[in-house]
Amino acid sequence: MRNGKCVCKERYKGPICNEYKGCPSDKPSLLNSVCSKNGCAHDGTNAIGSAQMECICKDQWDGRHCNRLACWRLTNRGHDKRYRNAQSSLTCECGQHSQGENCATLKSCEKNGKFENGVCMCSEGYGGDTCGQKCPAGEIT
């Protein structure tokens, strides 16, 4: 690090020196020490991981090759597991305890809560939309 910025080794670039730039443009990915065609889907950027090529994905994509929707990013903080990946990995579906448009309506609670009038009433020591979050020691919800 120099002046607050990473100084990359030869053939690496990017803010944290994890992007490999030593391959020709027609084979930009480094996979098992061999340059190959881009292994990233959905406009992902090639990067070198701990042992092999990985991808830096655009916001809505996830996975080593950016080939799976990042459904977890659709859920706001404070909401318990509203979205999850469907079987196909190219669509999102509501989690076990939610339903409706944008998965915004609760339909059940986790084992530490009781569902009443569209809301989860949590047992002592638990919180969150579906009562799935254990409260820190000494805190009661």
Written as six digits, the tokens of 132 are 């799935």
Is the separation of the CB atoms in 125 and 116 below 8 Å? no
Q: How does DSSP classify residue 71? A: G
Residues 6 or more apart whose CB falls under 8 angstroms from that of 61 comprise 41, 42, 44, 67, 68, 69, 70
State how far the alpha carbon of 11 is from the alpha carbons of 47, 55, 140, in Å.
12, 17, 54
pTM of the model: 0.47
More confident residue, 117 or 27: 117
**pLDDT tier at 120, thresholds 50, 70, 90:** very high
Domain residue limits, the chain:
12-68, 70-134
**Per-residue pLDDT tens for 22-80?**
777 777 666 556 676 667 888 888 776 665 667 888 888 888 888 888 887 776 655 55
> What amino acid is encoded at 85 in this protein?
N
